[in-house]
């Protein structure tokens, strides 16, 4: 029975790990590309005016529920 050369085994392991690392890197790049593509599609569909209107509505509701007392004192202060 012939014994394997340890250096050959090390080279085989390095090759296998190199292939695994390459596959992992390709997979990660593909995942990032997919997420970027989804973000671009979402940005294209994003309506800034609708977003601003929603924020202003929330602020208006909040001001009605919680009026700012310093607004009254600033107008009266001289």
pLDDT tens profile 39-61: 999 999 889 999 999 999 999 99
pLDDT classification of 74: cutoffs 50, 70, 90? low
CA distances from 49 to 6, 38, 55 (A): 67, 21, 10
What is the pTM for the complete model shown?
Answer: 0.49
Q: How many domains does the chain have?
A: 1
- For residue 32, the enclosing domain spans 6-71
Note whether residue 76 is domain-resident.
Answer: no
* Domain contains 1: no
**Which is more confidently placed, 17 or 78?**
17
Residue 78 lies in a domain: no
Q: Which of 27-31, 42-46, 55-59, 69-73 has the lowest mean pLDDT?
A: 69-73
More confident of the two residues 30 and 67: 30
């Amino acid at each position: 029975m012939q014994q394997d050369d340890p250096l050959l085994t090390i080279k085989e392991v390095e090759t296998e790990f190199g292939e695994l690392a390459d596959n992992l890197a390709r997979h990660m790049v593909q995942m990032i590309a997919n997420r970027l593509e989804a973000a671009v599609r979402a940005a294209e569909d994003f309506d800034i005016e609708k977003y601003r209107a929603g924020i202003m509505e929330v602020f208006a509701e909040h001001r009605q529920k919680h009026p700012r007392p310093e607004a009254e004192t600033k107008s009266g202060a001289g």
